[in-house]
Amino acid sequence: MYSYAILEPGCYYLVQEKENEELTLLQIKMISDHCMYIEKYKDHIMQEWKRKTDGIYDIVELLSDDAVREWTKAYYSNEDAYYEEDDE
């Protein structure tokens, strides 16, 4: 079991927050003395505060800059597809 305290600001991580849950991509946006502000990327972007002591079941991967660029292209191109349908 890991905690949020070992995650670095600005980095993207694939994590499994609880055992038997699906993977979540998250980015650490900022760190305070006792907490962290994070963004989670699923069907939509969700922002929330986590205590540094909150548990993470598994940190699967720290994404490289290249992987983040590729993911960003794919994620945001899919988001645009939803908006195009609404315009018609």
**Computed from CA positions of residues 37, 22, 12, 79, in that sequence, does the dihedral angle turn out positive or negative?**
negative
The residues pairing with 35 across neighbouring beta strands, listed in sequence order, are 51
Q: Pairing between strand 2-3 and 55-56?
A: antiparallel
The per-residue pLDDT for 64 is 95
What's the predicted TM-score (pTM) here? 0.81
Distance CA 52, CA 62 (A): 18
Model pLDDT for residues 22-68, shown as the tens digit of each residue: 999 999 999 999 999 999 998 889 999 999 999 999 999 999 999 99
CA atoms within 13 A on the CB side of 73: 5
- Local structure of 10: helix, strand or coil: coil
